[in-house]
Chains A and B, each alone.
Chain A
Amino acid sequence: MKSKTKVVVVGGGVVGVSALYHLAKKGWSDVVLVERKELTSGSTWHAAGLLPLFNMSYSVGQLHKYAVNLYKTLEEETGKNVGFSVVSNIRLASTKDRMDEYHQYAGVAKTIGVDVKFLSPQQVKEIWPLCHTDDLIGAIQHPEDGYIQPADLTQALAAGARNRGAEIYRNTAVTAIRQTKSGWVVETDKGSIECEHVISCSGNFARQTGEMVGLDIPVIPVEHQYIVTEPHPEIQKRKKAGLPEMGVLRDSDSRWYMREEAGGLILGPYEDGAPACYVEGPSKDSEYELFQEDLDRLAPHIEGAIHRVPAFGEVGVKKVYNGAICYTPDGNPIVGPAWGLKNFWINEGHSFGITAAGGAGWQLAEWIVDGEPTIDMLGVEPRRYGNYATKSYLKAKNEEAYSHVFIVHYPDEERPAARPLRTSPCYERMKDLGAVFGQKFGWERPNFFATDGMEQKMIGHLEDQNGLMQLRKSVRM
């Protein structure tokens, strides 16, 4: 093991390995990664491997777009198959609000150069014959995305990094991180490593890694379950006939994703009531860990899935995965320099880690090597949270972020959990005057005043005259 290097990456999930890969690709070959157990053994290994390009944030959207393009080139570069199935991804809409959301998103997609198509229910049926489409309005399709094998992806990135001189130390646990005059010392149970930069990519251990350097990193994971069925005769028949995979299907209004898996189906719902987990951090021996499944919590979504794709209910459940996914209060990752600590970098809180890993590693390498990122990273900025993001706040907000994955994201969305948190002395008076509040950095701040008989709450809906009126008022404020 090296005792001196330029960068130490802490954590060997797909996020950390991608950061290492991109540093090496940028020409910094004297870089190392330390992983307490095996690569992927935290959350990467149990991820469903979806690569959704859909994201309302310009920053995250660009990270995802870069990753999807990169992953297509990895096999040629490293000789390792990453199991990327470019099967496209269809998001269904059964309400007008949902379709409006897709149209709004299409603007984001166009701006950052992501290809999308709108489909009629008839076109959905042609691609997904097992899907019940009578009650749909339409759908949006990403022809370029699909799913990948997360462990194979991680190994390919690791090979790409090693080929360029980077080193990976597995079964090496970080015990302390100290700042020195010139940089950092990372202490491990196998010895210490002096370095210029540290990148924290420790996933479920984000808070524990942060504590080592006095940072309160606003990440707490939430439990996510997905169900894998045994093969279905219809899907096997399609395979035998040489027909293409039907692709990833998302029923946003019933809040789940579905895709084919070994002749059967995978269903992953984003339900209400999924609990935060590892609140005090995982056990130090934690490795390839899953939690007890709770199908009761998923019942409405399972019913929705059987309505949409009856075949899903016709075969047996082979396995239910319930594992930790990292979350932040707004559901976007935290990627960038740590506040107040020179050359300490945060790459944590990835709830779409497989998709975001490529882009996050890319931008961090740009930032560390060249001194600045090459895209607007404001949406994933570490300083968007402050000391108001306490453990109980995070627990409430991250559970909310999880359950909001599939809600209709209206412009100027304000989420209700853990509020009001900080109020100014005139809060009550403003409330009496009709203030409708939003939250900024933990503070309740009026977005507008409901006057002339307007309802004193955020409506959101753009179709609604009152909603439009609200939006106009809040823009003027």
Chain B
Amino acid sequence: MKILVAVKRVIDYNVQIRVKEDNTGVVTDNVKMSTNPPDDNAIEEAVKIKEAGKATEVVAVSIGEEKAQETVRKALAVGADRGILVKTDGIIEPLAVSKLLQKIVEKEKPDLVFMGKQAIDDDCNQTGQMLSALLNWPQATFASKIEIKDGKLEVTREIDEGLETIEINVPAIVTCDLRLNEPRYASLPNIMKAKKKPIEQLNASDLGVDITPRIEQVKVEEPPKRKAGIKVSSVAELVQKLKNEAKVI
């Protein structure tokens, strides 16, 4: 069994996001980037399946600028066997990502495609679902447990009502939840060794996919700033304010 894992390079989750002064986007220059956190869970799961002897190869793929190579390297450092980078410039929307992944899937012929349930930068939560539709493969989203049983997948999903367990046929798409596993940290010798693992570089244009954005971004703005609070001197004043100003009681 071969597993393809899609990983995305995003602004690190610890970074305080700043909006560009001309409201065309957020500041990314000189900002610390890292792997989209649920994509780390996707890689971890694939590597665990391989370590358990149920998969033969784990291929990490990223789509984005040249530097997205670092994200692929990180996946290689924790156990992926080889990498693919599809180079693109500028904003790339989930539909274009799914179409590019479709081409990669047609080329690589994996049995499973794993990815994070959504990216923490645009929060779209669309790529896995769109790829499933394009390939006409079954999908299991928000996975918090994956078991391989007789060539089928039993997946536990995190849904609003609780947990849902479904069985799907392979080949399939699985989008991973943060609860799926505890991603490992790569040791320095493994980080160094990852540099020697192969990364195939492709250009989006070579794959014959139109990646022109279809959504026009009008403006990016910061959320409104919270105003400073005030101190009240008595319970009576608090009640009065809650009643008359906040109008919550």
Contacts and interface: CB of A to CB of B under 8 A. Distances in A.
Interface of A: 227, 229-230, 277, 283, 285, 287-293, 295, 299, 302, 306, 312-318, 322
Contact of B188 (A288, A291, A292, A302): A302
B30 A291 contact: yes
B168 interface: no
A135 to B, nearest CB: 20
B186 interface: yes
A425 B27 CA distance: 49
A1 to B, nearest CB: 13
A293 B186 contact: no
A151 to B, nearest CB: 15
A314 B32 CA distance: 26
A285 B18 CA distance: 8
A292 B11 CA distance: 10
Nearest to B192: A299
Given A230-B185, A277-B30, 14 more contacts: A229-B185, A283-B27, A288-B16, A290-B15, A290-B32, A292-B30, A292-B31, A292-B32, A295-B188, A312-B188, A317-B185, A317-B188, A317-B191, A322-B32
A277 B33 CA distance: 17
Nearest to A292: B32
Contacts of B27: 283
A313 B187 contact: yes
B217 interface: no
A283 B27 CA distance: 10
A283 B32 contact: no
A445 to B, nearest CB: 39
Given A287-B16, A288-B16, A293 B188 contact: no
Contacts of A318: 185
Contacts of A322: 32
10 contacts: A283-B18, A285-B18, A290-B12, A290-B15, A292-B30, A292-B32, A295-B188, A306-B189, A317-B185, A317-B191
B233 interface: no
Contacts of B32: 290-293, 322
Given A283-B27, A290-B14, A292-B32, A313 B185 contact: no
Contacts of A229: 185
Interface string B49-69: 000000000000000000000
B50 to A, nearest CB: 18
Contacts of B31: 291-292
Interface residues of B, number: 18
Contacts of B243: none
B77 to A, nearest CB: 9
Contact of A313 (B16, B18, B188): B188
B188 to A, nearest CB: 5
Contacts of B186: 316-317
Contacts of B14: 290
Interface of B: 12, 14-16, 18, 27, 30-33, 184-189, 191-192
Contacts of B185: 229-230, 315-318
B85 to A, nearest CB: 17
Contact of B184 (A285, A290, A293, A316): A316
Contacts of A289: 15-16
Q: Which of A291, A292, A293, A314 has the most CB of B within 10 A?
A: A292
A312 B189 CA distance: 10
Contacts of A283: 18, 27
B184 A313 contact: no
B209 to A, nearest CB: 29
A315 to B, nearest CB: 6
Contacts of B16: 287-289
A227 B186 CA distance: 12
Nearest to B18: A285
Nearest to A290: B32
Nearest to A228: B185
Given A283-B18, A285-B18, A290-B15, A314 B33 contact: no
Given A283-B27, A288-B16, A322-B32, A314 B187 contact: yes
A315 B192 contact: no
B33 A292 contact: yes
Q: Which of B18, B185, B188, B189 has the most CB of A within 10 A?
A: B188
Contacts of B30: 277, 291-292
Contacts of B12: 290
Contacts of A292: 30-33
Given A283-B18, A290-B14, A299-B192, A317 B33 contact: no
A223 B189 CA distance: 23
Contacts of A312: 188
A475 to B, nearest CB: 46
B174 to A, nearest CB: 24
Nearest to B183: A316
Nearest to B27: A283
Q: Which of A285, A316, A317, A318 has the most CB of B within 10 A?
A: A316
A257 B33 CA distance: 26
A287 B32 CA distance: 13
Q: Which 5 A-B pairs have the closest CB atoms?
A: A316-B185, A290-B32, A313-B189, A313-B188, A316-B187
Contacts of B33: 292
A299 to B, nearest CB: 7
A137 to B, nearest CB: 26
A166 B59 CA distance: 60
Contacts of A302: 188, 192
A287 B15 CA distance: 9
Contacts of A316: 184-187
A315 B189 CA distance: 9
Nearest to B184: A316
A312 B192 CA distance: 14
Contacts of A277: 30
A357 to B, nearest CB: 25
A315 B27 CA distance: 34
B230 to A, nearest CB: 16
B34 to A, nearest CB: 9
B182 to A, nearest CB: 11
A283 B16 CA distance: 12
A289 to B, nearest CB: 8
Contacts of A293: 32
Nearest to B191: A295
Nearest to A302: B188
A312 B191 CA distance: 13
Contacts of A306: 188-189
